[in-house]
């Protein structure tokens, strides 16, 4: 038995019966189990109990063993002065201080179904993908699980974006540019692409965006790729970058993206060229994102977006590819940008405008195809089918923040499993 499980059982009243009796044999009626306190101090606040027709109001402290009261040094802590009940799993010692104050001790081991403890311990010890995979089925997914989980993710993401928004002096266009840059970098180069974006004043991007070659040169130059030109096109980019460095006082900082473990279409050369074209095509991109009412509108923003002509025959500088092919944005990549850049910022903006549009954002996610990755594949192996990005985003977030950390006691699916008997 662990104390956090004991707290969980108390909070959700998961007992075989609640005809409680204290260590002296007195009946205890729990009128209010209290509010679970996750900060310092007693475990449950503002509780009410009734003993011998007398009602007591105050706090309840839970321990695995009654002797933990001494080991945790609660006697010297003023936060524990208003304790009305000491609930323990095993009553292994009499606490003189509590006896003197006539604070009852309730031994809970006789009121807890041992199968609940067994299920919890089994989930934690036999994990391959998720702790509950041996007993998982889709019937255990609560109603509105996907919606509630995705809103939780968006709220957490909004907290991160708020910090960045302050750094960009409340400029949502700049925030979107940095978020899109991060998304364009994919997993390998996401942070590096963010650093490239942060090294450029967004006002400079807005001024340069009208000239596609210059914007491309700006990105390539900061990436440190133009120092030694290998062909005529590289020389033109280098010339443009040298001009922009002087004009906009760009510091001599090279932030080199990675190529290792990337498929050629995802090379940073291709992605930065495509990013340059996106911003060349769209002034006030943020305003367009905010105006979207249907997911299909987002896809129109990517119409004809591709890497520049040089990249039709290249994946890297100076190396001609045997296959001539325009480097356009795939539908899957467009979905990734919409999911990870457009929609979180749209949610943040509308929340800050006090607009209750959570349902609209969720509906937009539901109009986007489900993602394909190893986490979703593992859920699929458990028999779970996904129809849209609302579901896949929820499942990925839930796995990363609950399942992988084995936070079964904070999981609505885990709650249903532990609550079931047998």
> CB-based contacts of 142: which residues, under 8 Å, 6+ apart?
412, 413, 416
CA distance 21 to 107: 8
Secondary structure letter of residue 360 according to DSSP: H
pLDDT at 320 over 90: yes
CA distance 341 to 301: 13
CA distance 377 to 385: 10
Are residues 37 and 43 in contact, defined by beta-carbon separation less than 8 angstroms? yes
* Of 39 and 342, more confident: 342
Helix residue ranges, H only, 126-201: 145-167, 172-184, 186-198
> What does the buried/exposed string (b/e) look like for 102-120 if buried means 16 or more CB atoms within 10 Å of the residue's CB?
ebbbbbbeebbbeebbebb
* Of 8 and 265, more confident: 265
> CB-based contacts of 16: which residues, under 8 Å, 6+ apart?
111, 112, 113
pTM of the predicted structure, to 2 decimals: 0.75
Tokens of 152: 């939780």
Task: Give counts: helices (H), strands (E), the chain.
Answer: 19, 9
Count CB atoms within 10 A of the CB of residue 305.
19
3-class state of residue 308 by DSSP: coil
Question: In the predicted model, what is the mean pLDDT of residues 155-180?
Answer: 96
Measure CA of the first residue to CA of the last residue in the chain; give whole Å: 18
Mean pLDDT of the chain: 92
Residue 422: predicted pLDDT: 43
Are residues 375 and 395 in contact, defined by beta-carbon separation less than 8 angstroms? yes
- Angle ∠(143,372,271) on CA atoms, nearest 5: 130
pLDDT in tens, 112-132: 988 888 877 776 666 678 888
Instruction: Look at strands 54-65 and 319-320 and give their pairing.
Output: unpaired
Give backbone dihedrals phi and psi of 49, rounded to 5 degrees, phi first.
-130, 160
Residue 118: predicted pLDDT: 80
CA distance 221 to 149: 41
Residue 122: predicted pLDDT: 72
In this structure, of 1-15, 19-33, 44-58, 141-155, the range with the lowest mean pLDDT score is 1-15
Residue 390: predicted pLDDT: 98
Tally of CA atoms within 13 A in the half-sphere of 140 that contains its CB: 19
pLDDT at 421 over 60: no
3-class state of residue 294 by DSSP: coil
Percent of the chain past pLDDT 90, that is, above it, reads: 77
Which own/partner pairs from 92-97 qualify as long-range (CB within 8 Å, at least 24 positions apart)? 92/65, 92/66, 92/67, 93/65, 93/66, 93/67, 94/66, 95/66, 95/67, 95/69, 95/70, 97/69
Question: In the predicted model, what is the mean pLDDT of residues 405-420?
Answer: 81
* Of 311 and 113, more confident: 311
Do you know the residue count of the chain?
Answer: 422
Are residues 285 and 173 in contact, defined by beta-carbon separation less than 8 angstroms? yes
pLDDT in tens, 81-108: 899 999 999 999 989 989 999 999 999 9
Are residues 202 and 177 in contact, defined by beta-carbon separation less than 8 angstroms? yes
Radius of gyration of the chain (CA): 29
Tokens of 273: 């060229």
Query: Using 50, 70 and 90 to split pLDDT, how confident is the model at 246?
Result: very high
3-class state of residue 107 by DSSP: strand
Question: In the predicted model, what is the mean pLDDT of residues 67-73?
Answer: 92
Question: In the predicted model, what is the mean pLDDT of residues 325-349?
Answer: 97
């Amino acid at each position: 038995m662990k104390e956090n499980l004991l707290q969980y059982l108390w909070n959700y009243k998961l007992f075989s019966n609640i005809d409680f009796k204290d260590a002296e044999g007195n009946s205890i009626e729990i009128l209010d189990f209290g509010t679970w306190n996750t900060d310092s101090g007693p475990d449950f606040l503002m509780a009410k109990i009734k003993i011998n027709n007398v009602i007591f109001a105050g706090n309840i402290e839970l321990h695995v063993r009654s002797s933990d009261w001494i080991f945790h040094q609660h006697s010297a802590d003023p936060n524990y002065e208003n304790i009305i009940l000491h609930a323990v799993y095993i009553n292994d010692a009499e606490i003189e201080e509590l006896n003197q104050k006539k604070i009852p001790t309730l031994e809970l081991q006789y009121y807890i179904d041992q199968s609940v403890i067994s299920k919890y311990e089994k989930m934690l010890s036999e994990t391959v993908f998720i702790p509950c995979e041996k007993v998982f089925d889709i019937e255990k997914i609560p109603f509105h699980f996907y919606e509630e989980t995705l809103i939780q993710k968006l709220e957490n993401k909004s907290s991160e974006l708020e910090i960045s928004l302050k750094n960009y002096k409340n400029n949502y266009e700049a925030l979107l540019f940095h978020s899109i840059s991060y998304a364009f970098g994919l997993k390998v180069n996401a942070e590096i692409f963010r650093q490239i974006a942060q090294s450029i004043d967004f006002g400079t991007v807005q001024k340069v965006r009208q000239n596609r070659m210059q914007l491309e040169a700006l990105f390539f130059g900061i990436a440190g790729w133009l120092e030694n030109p290998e062909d005529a096109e590289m020389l033109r980019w280098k010339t443009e970058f040298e001009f922009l460095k002087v004009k906009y006082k760009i510091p001599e900082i090279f932030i080199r993206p990675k190529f290792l473990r990337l498929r050629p279409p995802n090379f940073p050369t291709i992605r930065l060229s495509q990013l340059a074209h996106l911003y060349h095509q769209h002034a006030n991109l943020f305003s367009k994102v905010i105006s979207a009412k249907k997911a299909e509108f987002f896809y129109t923003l990517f119409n004809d977006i591709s890497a520049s002509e040089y990249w039709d025959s290249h994946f890297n500088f100076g190396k001609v590819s045997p296959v001539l092919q325009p480097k356009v944005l795939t539908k899957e990549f467009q979905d990734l940008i919409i999911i990870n850049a457009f929609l979180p910022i749209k949610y943040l903006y509308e929340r800050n405008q006090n607009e209750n549009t959570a349902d609209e954002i969720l509906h937009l996610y539901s109009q986007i195809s489900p993602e394909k990755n190893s986490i979703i594949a593992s859920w699929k192996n458990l028999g779970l089918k996904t129809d849209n990005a609302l579901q896949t985003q929820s499942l990925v977030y839930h796995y990363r923040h609950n399942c992988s950390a084995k936070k079964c006691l904070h999981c609505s699916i885990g709650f249903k499993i532990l609550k079931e008997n047998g």
